[in-house]
């Protein structure tokens, strides 16, 4: 759905409300600019750079792991593992920050990855009550349900790198892929200890704490001290090999039986399939910025496959304005009333869409999985003697 008065990219359908958005003199958005810059990268040279980084890591590893690879059960995780093991022969330690919102599909994909590649693996799971309280606080101050995931993935991965003395972390997709926060393939932010605080979580533990969340509660999300991270290097695989989420996903489905699922607010089956709250995350972005996952996917299809802007806006209206089935459960676990929820989102709305009525329909097509996380459903089934 195109909103009157809002400026959109002249090529795709991404609006001015994208964080870090910059239109060029022709009205082309930063994501389209990033994709144009991507075509000019010498990928052969970049892959040689990656090979040198891996070789250096191996030489330092000795009997230790060559690198740490954070995995979630998502499409990028298994592709990272595939490339690193099949092409570069690394011995990784894989780590997972369990957001405690796993879907059964995501759990299957994670376990399938671990077993297929015979990976050593460490997982951390914050308790559910803590996750619920953090999700509430996250809505209140950033208009996003996922601070615990943004902060947790970063903190736990870096904690494990420090603890196991592994100086190299290999992440997946580059922030330059979507021009996030002004990143392009010509100019992208180098990974450091505070990378995810700057790009996604926005607040440190000290800033996030409140009357119902103490620093002791938030200790698992605390980053190691700067001195502990001084020898730590982090790279994004997508800065060294050409990244194509669509092709990567198809390849992983064919090679390793990776599974997609229906995700609220999206028309493709591969984004954040491991998280039962992915639809909430994207719906909050829609309420706060006037676009969600369908806009991102359709804009990609305009660039890569020649979809018309008219068809893209039609898909957005069909998928993006739908209130996800998980919302009722989300309000229940966070203790937010529907009125409070809407007031927080209205307060955090981007200036460009304040005063614009963002329609949200309650009807939603049947999802493959219900709104509750897989673990909750499994526990409930066990309590009443059912198998799942």
322: phi then psi, degrees, rounded to nearest 5 = -85, 125
What is the predicted pLDDT for the residue at 159? Answer: 97
Return the domain boundaries, the chain. Answer: 43-239
Residue partners of 357: CB distance under 8 A and separation at least 6: none
The model carries a pTM of: 0.90
pLDDT category at 367 given cuts 50, 70, 90 is very low
- Distance, CA of 162 to CA of 164 (rounded, Å): 6
Closest CA to 281 of 136, 148, 146: 146
Assess whether pLDDT exceeds 90 at residue 258: yes
pLDDT category at 365 given cuts 50, 70, 90 is very low
Neighbouring-strand partners of residue 210: 213
- Distance, CA of 125 to CA of 35 (rounded, Å): 36
Residue partners of 23: CB distance under 8 A and separation at least 6: 7, 9, 16, 29, 30
pLDDT category at 180 given cuts 50, 70, 90 is low
> pLDDT (tens digit, 9 = 90+) per residue, 271-311?
899 999 999 999 999 999 999 999 999 999 999 999 999 99
- Distance, CA of 130 to CA of 116 (rounded, Å): 33
CB–CB of 246/296 below 8 Å?
A: no
> pLDDT (tens digit, 9 = 90+) per residue, 69-100?
999 999 999 999 999 999 999 999 999 999 99
Task: Name the CA radius of gyration of the chain, rounded.
Answer: 21
Residue environment code for 22-59, b if the CB has 16+ CB neighbours within 10 A, otherwise e? ebeeeebbbbbbbbbbbeeeeeeeeeeebeebbeebbe
- Distance, CA of 366 to CA of 264 (rounded, Å): 10
What is the predicted pLDDT for the residue at 183? Answer: 66
Residue environment code for 66-86, b if the CB has 16+ CB neighbours within 10 A, otherwise e? bbbbbbbbbbbbbbbbbbbbe
Question: Which CATH class for the 43-239 domain?
Answer: alpha beta
CB–CB of 225/193 below 8 Å?
A: no
> pLDDT (tens digit, 9 = 90+) per residue, 192-234?
888 888 888 899 999 999 999 999 999 999 999 999 998 899 9
End-to-end CA distance of the chain, in Å? 39
What is the predicted pLDDT for the residue at 179? Answer: 65
Mean pLDDT for the chain overall: 90
Indicate the helix (H) or strand (E) that contains 250: helix 245-256
> pLDDT (tens digit, 9 = 90+) per residue, 14-51?
999 999 899 999 999 999 998 998 999 999 999 999 99
Beta carbons within 10 angstroms of residue 206's beta carbon:
9
DSSP conformation class of 102: B
- Distance, CA of 284 to CA of 295 (rounded, Å): 14
- For residue 181, the Cα-to-chain-centroid distance in whole angstroms is 14
3-state SS, residue 90: coil
Indicate the helix (H) or strand (E) that contains 312: helix 309-319
């Amino acid at each position: 759905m195109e909103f009157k008065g809002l400026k959109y990219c002249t090529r795709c359908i991404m609006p001015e409300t994208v964080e870090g958005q910059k239109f060029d003199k022709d009205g082309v958005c930063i994501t389209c600019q990033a994709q144009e810059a991507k075509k000019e990268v010498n990928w052969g040279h970049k892959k040689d750079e990656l090979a040198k980084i891996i070789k250096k890591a191996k030489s330092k590893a000795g009997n230790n792991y060559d690198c740490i690879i954070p995995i979630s059960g998502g499409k990028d995780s298994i592709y990272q593992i595939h490339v690193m093991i099949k092409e570069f022969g690394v011995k990784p330690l894989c780590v997972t920050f369990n957001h405690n919102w796993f879907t059964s599909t995501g759990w299957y994909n994670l376990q399938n990855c671990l077993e297929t590649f015979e990976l050593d693996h460490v997982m951390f799971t914050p308790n559910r009550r803590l996750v619920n309280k953090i999700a509430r606080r996250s809505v209140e101050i950033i208009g996003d349900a996922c601070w615990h995931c943004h902060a947790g993935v970063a903190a736990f991965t870096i904690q494990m790198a420090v603890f196991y003395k592994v100086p190299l972390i290999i992440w997946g997709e580059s922030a330059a892929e979507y021009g996030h926060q002004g990143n392009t393939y010509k100019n992208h932010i180098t990974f450091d200890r505070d990378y995810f605080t700057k790009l996604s979580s926005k607040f440190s533990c000290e800033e996030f704490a409140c009357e119902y969340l103490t620093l002791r509660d938030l200790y698992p999300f605390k980053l190691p001290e700067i001195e502990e991270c001084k020898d730590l290097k982090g790279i994004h695989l997508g800065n060294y090999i050409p990244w194509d989420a669509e092709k990567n996903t198809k390849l992983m489905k064919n090679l390793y039986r990776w599974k997609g699922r229906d995700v609220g607010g999206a028309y493709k089956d591969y984004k954040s399939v491991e998280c039962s709250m992915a639809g909430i995350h994207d719906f909050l972005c829609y309420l706060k910025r006037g676009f969600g996952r369908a806009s991102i996917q359709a804009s990609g299809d305009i660039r890569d496959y020649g979809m018309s802007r008219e068809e893209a806006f039609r898909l957005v209206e069909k998928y993006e304005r739908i209130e996800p089935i998980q919302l009722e459960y989300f309000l229940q676990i966070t203790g937010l009333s529907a009125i409070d929820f809407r007031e927080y989102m209205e307060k955090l709305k981007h200036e460009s869409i304040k005063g614009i009525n963002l329609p949200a329909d309650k009807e939603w097509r049947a999802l493959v999985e219900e709104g509750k996380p897989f673990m909750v459903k499994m526990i409930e089934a066990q309590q009443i003697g059912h198998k799942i």
